[in-house]
Amino acid sequence: MLELRNLSKRYGRVLAVDDVTCAVRPGRVTGFLGPNGAGKSTTMRMVLGLDRPSAGQVLVNGARYRDLRDPLRHVGALLEGSQAHGGRSAYQHLRWLARSNRVPTARVHELLGHVGLGDVAHQRVGGYSLGMRQRLGIAAALLGDPPVLLFDEPTNGLDPAGVRWLRETLRSFAAEGRTVLVSSHLISEIELTADHLLVLARGRLLADAPLEEFRGTEALEDAFLRLVSGR
Amino acid sequence: MIAAELIKLRTLRSTPIALVLAVLVSGGLSALLGSAADDGKMIGEFDPLFVAFYGLTLGQLPLVAFAVLAVGSEYRSGTIRASLAAVPRRARFFGAKVGAALLVLAATALATVAVSVLLAQTTLGTRRAALGDALPAAAGAWLYLTLIGLFALGFATLVRSSTVALGVLLPLLLLGSQGLGNVPGVRVVTQYLPDQLGWVVMHLAGPQGDPRWARDYGPWSGLALLALWAAAALVAGYTSLHRRDA
């Protein structure tokens, strides 16, 4: 469970996240929808303590992220873009991450196979395709087998088979009782994956509702665009 | 925590290159200068320990580059976000980073100084320095290289960029190697630049009995001042890391 309490982030004169309060509950996939620049990525960075909130706080199962012991065992996150250094191999990248949070090295080998990078595990990340980097990012998120998972635009660069694999992975995590928050600007993908929706626009939380309820009798795309445009 | 940082340092391709270069360049220059001096081709006042340590003015450059890249590569690649998500306490993260870099710097500095002194002493033949003079100077040189590396690491963390950090530090160190701390007029200030503070203990600043070369500090007080520079850079780097969003 992830609790956002009156969370705000101001960059100079821009209020990127404006007093967001909500709970992301376990056992379901929560879709995080919003136009570009709505504040989705900023919110996710604040969950991880990478960006300091201007006001408010985030609690991960009741604790602040920075107070978690071995945080990768509590929260796994895929943030926008690759975070692995191009000069390292996938194996080396996961290896130092594992070491920092006391995750056994055996888990690294297991995950590399699981995300389909087994054959290229010892090649430099700089030579990877966007999809392969994304798979590495997903492996890094799963490393500590965490109960809370955050994915920021995870389908970027994935091929159709990868998109389906990811969707089934996210759904199975939710079925196992984990908390799953996934952002996307692809409404159709969210419609296939999520049970619950959070809609953010210009930093404000406009909706926090089950997918079915939010959609009503409309297409999700219509309901979303109507809400975001304020008409 | 330090173990994870050591894996990171080891798996950067630049690390082994920089460390090998530091030893080769320093040792190579020592051997060249030593051979030249033994042939009697060196003119002016002769100090065998100048021969032993002059190579470090160039050999320190790859070592400084290593320290800068240890942190600069994280910002360049975005790995800093993965690092801080894995270790959200920034003091712990920075402590592990500095600790791991310090281990590598100290070990490489030891190898660099040992090779430089041995090659200089061997090639100098009969003009070599007495052991009693060489050992304290070598210890000073080892501390100097380690401290200048820590200074570079702190500075790179402050500016969050390898390019900016190297763009400032390399010209500074190259000008320094040309005797910036001895230039009349400005030496009042320039002798206190970080790299210049190691010159007295390494016998690079000229005969300290001669008022033209004498610095306003001794060999060990110079190193103590350099330690202050390094500490200030690390504190500034940590403050930047602590305050700013990653």
Q: Name residue A9's amino acid.
A: K
Query: Span B128-134, mean pLDDT?
Result: 91
- The secondary structure of B12-33 as a DSSP string is STHHHHHHHHHHHHHHHHHHHH
How big, in percent rounded to 5, are the helix, strand and coil portions of chain B?
75, 0, 25
Point out the residue among A48, A84, A101 whose CB comes nearest to the CB of B79: A84
B58's CB contacts (< 8 A; 6+ apart) are B25, B26, B29, B177
> So what's the ipTM on this one?
0.94
Q: Which among B209, B29, B39, B25 is positioned nearest to B127, based on CA atoms?
A: B39
Q: Among all chains, which residue has been given the structure tokens 């996150």?
A: A77
The Cα B88–Cα A73 span in angstroms is 13
For residue B42, pLDDT over 60 is answered with no
Tell me what pLDDT residue A141 has. 96
Distance of CA B7 to the CA centre of its chain: 22
Task: State whether residue A54 sits within 8 Å of chain B by CB.
Answer: no
- CA–CA min distance A130, chain B (Å): 15
Identify any residues that bridge with A4 across adjacent strands, giving them in sequence order.
Answer: A22, A58
Closest CA in chain B for residue A88: B11
Task: State whether residue A185 sits within 8 Å of chain B by CB.
Answer: no
Work out the percent of chain B whose per-residue pLDDT is above 70: 97
Tell me what pLDDT residue A145 has. 96
Point out the residue among B4, B84, B88 whose CB comes nearest to the CB of A99: B4
- Place B185 in a pLDDT band, splitting at 50, 70 and 90: confident
Contact (CB<8Å) B89/A66? yes
Closest CA in chain B for residue A102: B1
Q: What are phi and psi of B212, to 5 degrees?
A: -65, -30
Tell me what pLDDT residue A121 has. 97
Contacts of B1 in chain A (CB under 8 A): 100
- A13, with CB counted inside 10 A (0-12, 13-18, 19+), is exposed
Rounded to the nearest 10°, the torsion over CA A145, A151, A155, A156 is: -120
Contacts of A96 in chain B (CB under 8 A): 4-5, 7-8, 11
Tell me what pLDDT residue A173 has. 95
Tell me what pLDDT residue B182 has. 83
Point out the residue among A77, A85, A92 whose CB comes nearest to the CB of B85: A77
Query: Span B91-119, mean pLDDT?
Result: 97
Contact (CB<8Å) B86/A48? no
Tokens for A46, please give them. 């604040």
- A94, A144 Cβ separation under 8 angstroms: no
The pLDDT tens digits along chain A (231 residues) read 999 999 999 999 999 999 999 999 999 999 999 998 899 999 999 999 999 999 999 999 999 999 999 999 999 999 975 589 999 999 999 999 999 999 999 999 999 999 999 999 999 999 999 889 999 999 999 999 999 999 999 998 889 999 999 999 999 999 999 999 999 888 999 999 999 999 999 999 999 999 999 988 889 999 999 998 876
Contact (CB<8Å) A52/B88? no
Closest CA in chain A for residue B71: A85
Contacts of B12 in chain A (CB under 8 A): 85, 87-88
Tell me what pLDDT residue B181 has. 82
Contact (CB<8Å) B77/A86? yes
The conformation of residue B128, written as its DSSP 8-state character, comes to: P
Contacts of A127 in chain B (CB under 8 A): none
A 132-161 → B contacts, CB under 8 A: 140
Task: State whether residue A50 sits within 8 Å of chain B by CB.
Answer: yes
Q: Which among B71, B76, B241 is positioned nearest to B156, based on CA atoms?
A: B71
- CA–CA min distance A125, chain B (Å): 11
Which residue blocks in B125-218 are alpha helix, DSSP H? 131-159, 162-177, 187-190
Query: Span B29-45, mean pLDDT?
Result: 77
Distance of CA A84 to the CA centre of its chain: 17
Contact (CB<8Å) A92/B79? no
pTM of the model: 0.94
How big, in percent rounded to 5, are the helix, strand and coil portions of chain A?
40, 30, 30
Contact (CB<8Å) A45/B245? yes
The Cα B189–Cα B216 span in angstroms is 10
Tell me what pLDDT residue B176 has. 84
Q: What is the mean pLDDT of chain B?
A: 93
Q: Among all chains, which residue has been given the structure tokens 């930093």?
A: A203
Neighbours of B223 (CB within 10 A): 22
Tokens for A75, please give them. 């929260």
- B94, B83 Cβ separation under 8 angstroms: no
The Cα B194–Cα A105 span in angstroms is 42
B232's CB contacts (< 8 A; 6+ apart) are B154
Tell me what pLDDT residue A231 has. 63
Point out the residue among A45, A50, A92 whose CB comes nearest to the CB of B11: A92
Tell me what pLDDT residue B18 has. 95
Contacts of B4 in chain A (CB under 8 A): 96-97, 99-100
Residues from B in contact with A at Cβ < 8 Å: 1, 3-5, 7-8, 11-14, 73-74, 77-79, 81-89, 245-246
**In chain B, where the domains are located:** 2-243
A182's CB contacts (< 8 A; 6+ apart) are A29, A30, A31, A32, A150, A151, A154, A170, A190, A193, A194
The Cα A92–Cα A156 span in angstroms is 23
- Place B126 in a pLDDT band, splitting at 50, 70 and 90: confident
